[in-house]
């Protein structure tokens, strides 16, 4: 397993870096946040990302995609993590594209995947129901009613749920609340009667929503992946999602580190540049080492997806655990080395701390993933 990018992958990363630094610097993130943009992202910028082919990176060529692989997608998310770029790429290009590619029948793939590639369809996964990631704890119920199902329940922390054209809901069609089996995925139009979607304000300004379903009627033909077959599909898709968000966290930590290094090279205290203080040099060296270890973990996990490795699940949890720990360390240290100004909105470094605290929780925090890794390793 190569832990470096090949020529094509490096080229994609370089293009992403140049594009994002030019078109979506942190000032762009601030503008979206401060103008209370209803979508939570810039439609023009999203269209340019689509034109670059980013929405189709994980989609097979037979459905109009580019099938470039997770290493390529991870490279883009690393660069997006550096600029805090708001976009539907995670919810649509990773979650939606993977759910439909891995779980959809041929008709669903033929209809939906080309729309994701061309940017005319955005998606959101309504999975979580608790404060902590528990993918099998599903109380939202879907009850058979003739040729249809009626869904009732509530979902929380639905990324891009307020702006998506298609909502994919995990509901229980069989078994008790925490059974691994008996979960079914349903595709819903957000305008369906009985569906209430409320945009929530996250501390890091990431797009999220609360979803309430009250006797929402959905056709049996809108089941994704077959009845009671949702758990297996979700597990595979969540592995991809955890790896993509780990790549974003790597970029987040890398940029927070870079900002901090530049700051301590200029800031003077007691008549000396604080970067000359040995204690700060030791702390900076630790951050650098942890970031390098995280890079290896993330690219190994991306490769595991592309190679369809039997070790994918462990690699996904390793990457999410390591990225979470590193991002937590680096953003904490960044604030401490900046001192009081680090938590003011005038300085960008505080934005990275806020983003780190939210991404740590997306689809499982470090505690969840170290336990999952141990279980998968038979500890």
- Per-residue model confidence (pLDDT) at position 262: 97
For the residues 9-38, what does the mean pLDDT come to? 96
- Per-residue model confidence (pLDDT) at position 201: 83
**Domain CATH for 340:** 1.20.140.10
For residue 127, pLDDT beyond 70: yes
Cα dihedral across residues 323, 325, 330, 332: positive or negative: positive
Into how many domains does the chain fold?
3
- Per-residue model confidence (pLDDT) at position 1: 59
For residue 34, pLDDT beyond 80: yes
Structural domain harbouring 281: 231-376
268-269 and 272-273 strand pairing: antiparallel
Do the domain assignments include residue 2?
Answer: no
pLDDT in tens, 48-69: 999 999 999 999 999 999 999 9
Under the banding of pLDDT at 50, 70 and 90, the label for residue 22 is very high
- Per-residue model confidence (pLDDT) at position 5: 87
For residue 3, pLDDT beyond 80: no
Do the domain assignments include residue 159?
Answer: yes
Do the domain assignments include residue 132?
Answer: yes
123-126 and 166-172 strand pairing: parallel
pLDDT in tens, 334-366: 999 999 899 999 999 999 999 999 999 999 999
298 plus 372 within the same structural domain: yes
- Cα angle 231, 237, 238; round to 5: 85
Q: Which residue has the tokens 């003739």?
A: 146
pLDDT in tens, 265-282: 999 988 999 999 999 999
Do the domain assignments include residue 1?
Answer: no
Do the domain assignments include residue 246?
Answer: yes
**Domain CATH for 132:** 2.40.110.10
343: its two tokens:
């938590």
């Amino acid at each position: 397993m190569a832990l470096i990018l090949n020529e094509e992958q490096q080229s994609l990363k370089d293009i992403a870096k140049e594009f994002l630094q030019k078109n979506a610097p942190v000032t762009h993130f601030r503008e979206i946040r401060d103008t209370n943009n209803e979508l939570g992202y810039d439609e023009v910028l999203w269209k340019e990302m689509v034109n670059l082919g980013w929405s189709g990176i994980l989609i097979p060529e037979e459905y109009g995609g580019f099938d470039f692989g997770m290493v390529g997608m991870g490279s883009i998310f690393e660069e997006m993590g550096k600029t805090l770029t708001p976009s539907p790429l995670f919810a649509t290009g990773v979650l939606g594209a993977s759910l439909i590619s891995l779980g959809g029948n041929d008709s669903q793939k033929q209809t939906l995947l080309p729309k994701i590639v061309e940017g005319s369809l955005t998606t959101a996964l309504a999975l979580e129901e608790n404060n902590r990631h528990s993918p099998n704890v599903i109380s939202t119920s879907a009850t058979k009613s003739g040729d249809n199902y009626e869904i009732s329940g509530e979902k929380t922390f639905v990324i891009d749920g307020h702006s998506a054209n298609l909502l994919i809901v995990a509901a229980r069609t069989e078994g008790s609340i925490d059974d691994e089996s008996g979960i079914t995925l349903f595709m819903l139009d957000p305008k369906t009667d009985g569906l209430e979607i409320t945009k929530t304000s996250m501390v890091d300004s990431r797009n999220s929503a609360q979803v309430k379903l009250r006797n929402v009627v959905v056709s049996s033909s809108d089941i994704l992946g077959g009845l009671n077959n949702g758990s297996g599909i979700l597990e595979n898709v969540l592995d991809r999602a955890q790896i993509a968000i780990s790549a974003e966290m790597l970029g987040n930590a890398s940029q927070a580190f870079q900002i901090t290094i530049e700051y301590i090279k200029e800031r003077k205290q007691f008549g000396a540049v604080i970067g000359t203080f040995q204690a700060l040099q030791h702390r900076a060296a630790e951050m650098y080492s942890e970031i390098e270890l995280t890079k290896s973990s993330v690219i190994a996990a991306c490769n595991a997806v592309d190679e369809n490795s039997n070790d994918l699940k462990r690699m996904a949890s390793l990457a999410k655990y390591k990225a979470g720990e590193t991002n937590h360390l680096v953003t904490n240290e960044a604030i401490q080395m900046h001192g009081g100004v680090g938590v003011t909105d005038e300085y960008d470094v505080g934005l990275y701390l806020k983003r780190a605290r939210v991404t740590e929780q997306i689809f499982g925090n470090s505690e969840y993933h170290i336990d999952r890794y141990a279980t998968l390793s038979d500890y």
